[in-house]
Structure 1
Amino acid sequence: MARVVRFHRHGGPDVLQIDQVDVPLPGPGEVRIRVKALGLNRAEALLRAGTYIETPRLPSGLGLEAAGIVDAVGAGVVDVAPGDAVSIVPPTSMVRWPAYGDLVTFPAALVVKHPPSLSWEAAAATWMAYLTAYGALIDLAGLRQGEHVVVTAASSSVGLAAIQIARSVGAIPIAVTRTSAKAPALLEQGAASVVASAEEDLAARLREIAGEQGVRVVLDPIGGPIFGPLVAAMSKGGILIEYGGLSPEPTPFPLFEVLSKMLTLRGYLVHELLNAPERLATARSFIVDGLASGALRPVIAKTFAFDQIVDAHRFLESNEQLGKIVVRV
């Protein structure tokens, strides 16, 4: 028997509960893992609330990231063995492959032997953030040395990963956050500049930082009213990558500037990287090398115990964190 977190109805954090379930031996191509830590993501709160891109059959498990020790492997698995320390590349379906449990099963293709220097908490905080940031900035935008890149929601785990990845290729990250409260921490994490969107003229401040040439690459999970000022600060031929829609307000479309600057507006989900084996392999190598060298360092906002999963989800929805929320199992 294993302990797993499930919800039997949609709602707030209080609908999460710990159930006892059977976890069978892994099938062909599968790996069973004794979990040591979980990384939390906003997608899990959306699934729980009933507003995610997947519609689960209830009761449903959840979770996209875990790290632990291989417990058993199925037929045909050769890259990992029982006793190996591993972490999980997020699956395209957390309903099919939920991570919130002390014993979980995943396809071997999603199981990574991470650098031994990583703690369980750091390993569980790695893959969603760095794959999302890498896929947007490197795989899609081709971010280059010396370029300014704007990263909004910069204190999120993806935002911090984007700042680190930008730094690792010699780009110049501009962190955008709502207020100046998190500015010192963002500068410490590698941002070259910080703009407080609720306190400053965002477009003017970005133009002041980037100069007349503007910003070629913008990474944004917010949308809404911030969209216009971001576009105003972009250079000709720039690319704005949207990977979320956190703003509850409508997102205006600045048609004239999009036309005159010949901009690319690109919607992005990490699923497109996860579904492209060659691109995913390149991303994994980039991230593992960065972790090993220390250029990439997962930032842990706060750690909770497994039986505090409700409190962990409440904190997830508070927007108070800088970095990743992790649950120890």
Structure 2
Amino acid sequence: MAIPAEMKALLQTNDGYAAKPSGSVLEAMEPYVEPGVVAVPKPKPTQLLIKVSLASINPSDVMFVKGMYGQPRQKGQPAGFEGVGTVVATGDEPLARSFADKRVAFATGVTGWGSWAEYAVAEAPACIALIDTVRDEDGAAMIVNPLTALAMFGIVKDEGEKAFIVTAGASQLCKLIIALAKEEGFRPIAIVRRDDQIPLLKELGAAHVLNSEAADFRTSLKETVKAEQPRIFLDAMTGPLAAGIFHVMPKRSRWIIYGRLDPSTTPILEPGQLIFQQKVIEGFWLPVWMRQSPERREWAEMEAQKRFSDGRWTTDVTAVVPLSKAMSETPAALAKPNGKVFIKPD
């Protein structure tokens, strides 16, 4: 395959981090990315050059381009953490060469060459060679959500308690976790913000679905926690809502934070609980888990592909936006609930 000298991409317009948090909603693309043409990069010895078929837009992407993620922006470089495509060039190291010509799910990590482009660069260890039965829509969302779901549900299983709590309950990630829990007899308690999300999550396998906007939410939460005694709290939100949930959980509970959809201050309502009730606050970041748990990672990569192939899992698609129209169409697509938005090179 002939590789062009230049490519189209959505390029970051800022460096570093935002001075002030601005929320998790992408109201418009213009303050954060712009369309442009840049030279197609050459892969380093440990890297792959991938012709992008489909690029995912995750909450972490939105937080990153807005300068609120755990790594700095790079002005002039393509955005986008995740996608699917075909390897068209590799570095010289053996692992990189083993991916030659394969269709892969990939995470761009800190390479600086994101997936919102015609070509992307990823480190070979951050790629998964896909089996033929995995759709591009599932492959483009293979790493961030599915591997995180398997990893965090593993934490729930290791803890041993059947009940656990998730915020952002209607997200693609939480729907995967809820499906896993149903299969193995666990009892997820999902927190959502709209009543119309409740039937869907109940059908997927949630034992309880609570609307945090409801007038009786605090009462319902306390009653549910008292009955179920959940000790794992998988939290994508932070902020006052998450703090209130953790506050009513029983002793020896673990608040595991993997996102910050609410940029407001997160209070600790009673610090004494950390001392006298042995309650713990900790973080989860998938790249660290992937490095520290190589055997579990290898199992999770194949397990996720099997689940997408046999229909136990599927990626709910809200929209596939052409790269040429991404600036105008992406914000409205992201505002629609319950599904993934992808960018597709024209």
**2:112 counterpart of 1:96:** yes
Q: 1:207 Cα deviation (Å)?
A: 4.7
Task: Give the secondary-structure state (helix, strand or coil) at the position aligned to 1:61.
Answer: coil
Mapped to 2, the partners of 1:91 and 1:168 lie a distance apart of 32
Instruction: Go from structure 1 to structure 2 and tell me whether the alpha carbon gap of 1:276 and 1:91 turns closer, same or farther (over 3 Å shift).
Output: farther
Segments of structure 2 that go 5 or more residues without pairing to the other structure are: 1-5, 19-27
Tell me which residue corresponds to 2:50: 33
**2:140 counterpart of 1:124:** yes
Tell me which residue corresponds to 1:134: 150
Q: 1:294 Cα deviation (Å)?
A: 3.2
Q: 1:290 Cα deviation (Å)?
A: 3.0
Q: Deviations over 1:55-77 (max 9, x none)?
A: 23321221111111222333223
**2:12 counterpart of 1:7:** yes
Tell me which residue corresponds to 2:262: 247
Which range is displaced more, 209-218 or 191-200?
209-218
Tell me which residue corresponds to 1:80: 99
Q: 1:213 Cα deviation (Å)?
A: 4.7
Match of 1:280 among 291, 297, 300: 297
Match of 2:241 among 221, 226, 229: 226
TM-score normalised to the size of structure 1? 0.86
TM-score normalised to the size of structure 2? 0.82
Q: State whether residues 77 and 112 of structure 2, in contact with CA within 8 Å, keep that contact through their aligned partners in structure 1.
A: no
**2:322 counterpart of 1:305:** yes
Q: State whether residues 54 and 85 of structure 2, in contact with CA within 8 Å, keep that contact through their aligned partners in structure 1.
A: yes
Mapped to 2, the partners of 1:229 and 1:235 lie a distance apart of 13
Q: 1:119 Cα deviation (Å)?
A: 1.8
Match of 1:109 among 99, 118, 125: 125
**2:34 counterpart of 1:17:** yes
Q: CA RMSD in A?
A: 2.7
**2:63 counterpart of 1:58:** no
Mapped to 1, the partners of 2:212 and 2:128 lie a distance apart of 38
Q: 1:113 Cα deviation (Å)?
A: 1.7
Mapped to 1, the partners of 2:221 and 2:312 lie a distance apart of 26
Mapped to 2, the partners of 1:46 and 1:72 lie a distance apart of 30
How many residues are aligned here?
324
Q: Which amino acid aligns with 1:56?
A: R
**2:254 counterpart of 1:236:** no
Q: Which amino acid aligns with 1:80?
A: F
Q: State whether residues 214 and 233 of structure 1, in contact with CA within 8 Å, keep that contact through their aligned partners in structure 2.
A: no
Tell me which residue corresponds to 1:198: 213
Mapped to 1, the partners of 2:128 and 2:300 lie a distance apart of 12
Task: Give the secondary-structure state (helix, strand or coil) at the position aligned to 1:39.
Answer: strand
Q: Which amino acid aligns with 2:300?
A: A
Task: Give the secondary-structure state (helix, strand or coil) at the position aligned to 1:326.
Answer: strand
Q: State whether residues 10 and 36 of structure 2, in contact with CA within 8 Å, keep that contact through their aligned partners in structure 1.
A: yes
Q: 1:310 Cα deviation (Å)?
A: 2.1
Q: Which amino acid aligns with 2:171?
A: S
